[in-house]
Amino acid sequence: MNNQRSRYLMRGATLSNLFPSLTNTGDSPKFPDGPVWEILNPNSEHSLKLQLEEVVEGLEDGVFIHPTAIIGKDTCIEGPAYIGPNVEIRHGAYIRPYSWICEGSVVGHCTEVKHSILLPNSKAPHFNYVGDSILGSGVNLGAGCKLSNLRNDGRTILIRDGNDGKKIGDSGLRKFGAILGENVQIGCNAVTNPGVILGCNSHVWPNVTVSGLHSENSVIKD
């Protein structure tokens, strides 16, 4: 792979480029220095796992639910979990351990979230699977969209160029779904393969399977 292109893609995958509106004053977790996906590493000093355990310490069932959050009927929330202000957890949703749902976000009917972060005002509203992933503000997943998080061979997830599939690096993570920059829109029944990173304002058409790292404003049709 061209080293210049590799550096260009990785620059676009930084915290400030993927989540430009993120501040340290909101209800989101604190991201460690280094690659954005490092927060998903349970062995990291500043991992999502450790931060959630600290937030919910002493709470019944290890679950924090803000008083303004709306929790629908027949939902299942397993701690440790954080449900922020004005969050909507709709009927039949399944929140698995180590999920951090920030202010104004939506987890919809029959959606499953596991060890993931939904940053403010992101939406997984209908029949979605969100595993070991990070959704930036303004992200919307179309009905049936799945963020796959595990290779069939169980090996660590590689970071690849979304255009030619060539290796850029190794995340070191066995489970790593997708990192979606702010305002990414994904069409109905699309699937992201493990280790997908989409830059801000990217669009994925319905029924498409996505792999690799794509820069901001990408349009992925096939």
- C-alpha to C-alpha distance for 83 and 104, rounded to whole angstroms: 10
Consecutive H or E run containing 18: helix 15-18
Q: Judge contact between 17 and 36, C-beta under 8 A.
A: no
Nearest alpha-carbon partner for 72 in 89, 96, 47, 49: 89
**126 an active-site residue?**
yes
Q: Among residues 115, 126, 203, 214, which one is catalytic?
A: 126
Q: Which two tokens stand for residue 132?
A: 């070991």
**Helix, strand and coil in the chain, % to nearest 5:** 15, 30, 55
Which alpha helices (H) appear in 19-65, and where do they start and end?
A: 48-55
Nearest alpha-carbon partner for 121 in 135, 105, 142: 105
Angle 180-185-37 (CA atoms, 0-180°, nearest 5)? 5
Residue 220, φ and ψ in degrees, nearest 5 = -110, 110
Helix (H, G, I), strand (E, B) or coil at 39: helix
Residues labelled catalytic: 126
